[in-house]
Chain A
Amino acid sequence: MNREIAVVAFAQTDHRRSTEESSEVEMVMPVLHEVLAQTGLRAADIGFTCSGSSDYLAGRAFSFTLALDGVGAWPPISESHVEMDGAWALYEAWTKLLTGDADTALVYSYGKCSPGSVRDVLTRQLDPYYVAPLWPDSIALAALQAQALIDAGHTDEPALAAVGARSRADAEANPHAQVKGGSIPQGDYVVRPLRTGDCPPVGDGAAAVILAAGERARELCERPAWIRGIDHRIEAHGLGVRDLTDSPSARLAADKAGAFERPVDTAELHAPFTAQEVILRRALGLGDDVRVNPSGGALAANPVMAAGLIRIGEAAARIHRGASDRALAHATSGPCLQQNLVAVLEGDPR
């Protein structure tokens, strides 16, 4: 079955360092209501619901089941969950719509980084035999990648600082961003060569999108963001097996998604660390004429498990409001850009 599927609505929270006054469902529910309101749909009208989150952030098993209370899952709904960023939940929903089993899908994801120490929490996703027992935190691994990139002559510390400054300057126009302002000092080394400004803020947040197929998409949205292609690829888990200065999985996913068939005008890249934007720009062949991360990207707000879905949502929202005609959205998972998802979105000709 060959169906056209589009992102027709996107909503997100204001991302903040802590939402300790709210439970997960209390944080997520307003975003669900907002994204439904944009389309006029009610929860009962949705054909498929898929979410992404991680119990390791909450420190509790099956934490996502309580967040489902915010959907209104009665009478029983068709529902699924991925223990991944919401971008992968969107991928599952996209395949579900392709089968024709549903015409609309609600995709949401959320992350509360505030209860724990996300640098340490993320060590638990590493090889449990040879790597996790050393507790190499997420910033340390990103720093190894950044140094490799510097050694290869692809960047230097001032260029990395410029990526951070540009992202936070762009975030001035994003009411949801957690860190904004181009004049924020780059700060001290966290793990050298990465400074505070090279690293994402730690924060809580949630996001939701609605997908719709064919004519349903046109009914629900004035200018749907059509998903022309979407693909995700993964590299070996061994850090020492990979070339950390490149992202062959991002490039292959982009190729399979059709990103190289025609130029894009916008790219929302899920690069939590400055050096990763440099790697992704090279891997995806993005020139200076492509607007990269006009939202400020993950360097301005990085609610883990939602930040990838937000890239797709931000790219789609630019198409909805006519600021983009063809956009690339990217999400990453795992250490040092191990796994990458690329979606190509287009608006109807104007």
Chain B
Amino acid sequence: MPEVLRAPLVVEFPFTRSLGPVQSAFLTGLRERVVLGVRTGDGRTLVPPVEYDPVTAEEIRDLVEVAPTGTVTTWAWNHEPRRGQPLDTPFAWALVRLDGADTALLHALDAPGPAAVRTGMRVRIRWAAERTGAITDIACFEPYEGGAGQPTGHTGAFDEPLSGIVAPARLDYTYSPGRAQSAYIHALSEQRTVGERCPSCRKVYVPPRGACPTCGVATAEQVEVGPRGTVTTFCIVNIKAKNLDIEVPYVYAHIALDGADLALHARIGGVPYDQVRMGLRVEPVWTEGARYPDHYRPAGEPDADYDTYKELL
């Protein structure tokens, strides 16, 4: 069994989300240190507020300000904060029902330890120093001895209300390609292209993924293919990709390596873009120390007959 290959894989997106009128008022309010709820048809006040009644699905728009103080309805002590969480020192997660609200808001509660936290304890909002109109404008809750704080009497109408938020998200993975693809990558690093043959239909897949997609059985028999192959079809790329140091126009092609029953794709170089054609015979170009071919170039052979590759289009 060859060594298992691993590579870091980071998936990171800045999700841009538009806001409905209730969400906009709530998040804009946080920016202004005002907490708004929304009243349902049966007179309950939801904080955080939503656009539609979770019970009746009725559209709800009746904004009502609640206090920045409240009561813990449940909690959980988090002794090892994780990336992105509101505090980087141990804290309690808490659902807090703000004074004037009928539902609870999830956030962090800054407390010295679990012995200082209990359901029913009184807390108040600690505002973030810099606020942009996001749930993180509430830095956290903190213990508070006292009665209900006073709402400011806000109507819910703001100058410059938010219309959207940008929520960054990042997840870190360690990618492993599995048995068949690992074997393929190991062989490529020795400048050999090795596919796998289906025991049932006898097709050779390059790159192999461990299964014949036609027969649904495992491929195992390794077959070295190429190095030369035939262009089966191609396109001309006219738009430069970000972070890619290749001059346009260039040709990207499907190439059926000799002995393979599936075309792989690669860039064609060493020939003007407008002279690439179906049937062109090509060979890989390796650069020093590379683990895969940089591109393919004309092999200097006569073109292949259409009949020899038409099944691979």
> Which residue of A21, A24, A115, A143 contacts B174 across the interface (Cβ within 8 Å)?
A115
Does A131 contact B135, Cβ atoms closer than 8 Å?
A: yes
Does A26 contact B76, Cβ atoms closer than 8 Å?
A: no
Nearest opposing residue in chain B for A73, CB measure = B213
Min CB–CB distance B177 → chain A (angstroms): 6
Does A147 contact B106, Cβ atoms closer than 8 Å?
A: no
Min CB–CB distance A62 → chain B (angstroms): 14
Q: Scoring B residues 183 to 210 as 1 if CB is less than 8 Å from chain A, else 0, what string do you get? A: 0000000000000000000000000011
Cβ contacts under 8 Å, A20 to chain B: 4, 6, 174, 176
Q: From residue 80 to 116 of chain B, which have CB atoms closer than 8 A to chain A?
A: 82-86, 93-95, 97, 103-108, 114
Task: Tell me the interface secondary structure of chain B in the complex.
Answer: mixed
| Interface residues in B, total, Cβ within 8 A | 68
Does B79 contact A189, Cβ atoms closer than 8 Å?
A: yes
Cβ contacts under 8 Å, A238 to chain B: 46, 48, 50, 54, 103
- A238 to B85 alpha-carbon distance, docked (Å): 19
Nearest opposing residue in chain A for B217, CB measure = A72
Min CB–CB distance B88 → chain A (angstroms): 12
Answer yes or no: A328 CB below 8 A from chain B CBs: no
Answer yes or no: A137 CB below 8 A from chain B CBs: yes
Answer yes or no: A117 CB below 8 A from chain B CBs: yes
Nearest opposing residue in chain B for A74, CB measure = B214
Does A191 contact B97, Cβ atoms closer than 8 Å?
A: no
9-residue interface stretch from B149-157, B164-172, B247-255, B294-302: B164-172
Cβ contacts under 8 Å, B93 to chain A: 136, 140-141, 143-144, 191
Answer yes or no: B241 CB below 8 A from chain A CBs: no
Does B106 contact A239, Cβ atoms closer than 8 Å?
A: yes
Does A120 contact B82, Cβ atoms closer than 8 Å?
A: yes
Answer yes or no: A23 CB below 8 A from chain B CBs: yes
**Given contacts A129-B19, A133-B134, are A29 and B103 in contact (CB under 8 A)?**
no
Answer yes or no: A181 CB below 8 A from chain B CBs: no
**Given contacts A148-B73, A148-B74, are A240 and B119 in contact (CB under 8 A)?**
no
Cβ contacts under 8 Å, B104 to chain A: 239-240
Does B108 contact A134, Cβ atoms closer than 8 Å?
A: yes
Does B167 contact A128, Cβ atoms closer than 8 Å?
A: yes
- The total of Cβ contacts below 8 Å across the A-B interface reads 192
Name, among A114, A193, A240, the residue most crowded by chain B CB atoms within 10 Å (CB to CB): A240
Does A21 contact B178, Cβ atoms closer than 8 Å?
A: yes
Does A72 contact B171, Cβ atoms closer than 8 Å?
A: no
Answer yes or no: B222 CB below 8 A from chain A CBs: no
Cβ contacts under 8 Å, A159 to chain B: none
Answer yes or no: B17 CB below 8 A from chain A CBs: yes
Min CB–CB distance A283 → chain B (angstroms): 18
**Given contacts A59-B175, A151-B119, A191-B93, are A134 and B216 in contact (CB under 8 A)?**
no
Answer yes or no: A286 CB below 8 A from chain B CBs: no
Cβ contacts under 8 Å, A191 to chain B: 76-79, 93
Min CB–CB distance A61 → chain B (angstroms): 9
**Given contacts A25-B211, A26-B178, A43-B216, are A147 and B119 in contact (CB under 8 A)?**
yes
Nearest opposing residue in chain B for A43, CB measure = B216
- A33 to B200 alpha-carbon distance, docked (Å): 14
- A236 to B107 alpha-carbon distance, docked (Å): 18
Cβ contacts under 8 Å, B9 to chain A: 59-60, 115
**Given contacts A21-B1, A29-B216, A238-B48, are A66 and B209 in contact (CB under 8 A)?**
yes
- A122 to B13 alpha-carbon distance, docked (Å): 16
> Which residue of B54, B74, B94, B180 contacts A236 across the interface (Cβ within 8 Å)?
B54
> Which residue of A33, A43, A119, A124 contacts B169 across the interface (Cβ within 8 Å)?
A124
Q: From residue 1 to 42 of chain A, which have CB atoms closer than 8 A to chain B?
A: 20-26, 29, 32-33
Cβ contacts under 8 Å, A24 to chain B: 178
The 8 residue pairs across chains A and B that have the minimum distance between CB atoms: A72-B216, A23-B178, A240-B104, A143-B76, A135-B84, A236-B54, A192-B77, A59-B173
25 A-B interface contacts by CB (under 8 A): A21-B1, A23-B176, A23-B178, A23-B179, A23-B209, A25-B209, A25-B210, A26-B178, A26-B218, A29-B211, A58-B173, A60-B9, A115-B9, A131-B106, A133-B134, A136-B93, A146-B76, A191-B77, A191-B93, A192-B79, A193-B76, A239-B106, A240-B48, A240-B95, A240-B106
- A71-B216, A116-B172, A236-B54 are known; give 6 further A-B pairs, CB within 8 A: A21-B179, A115-B173, A134-B84, A134-B86, A136-B93, A238-B46
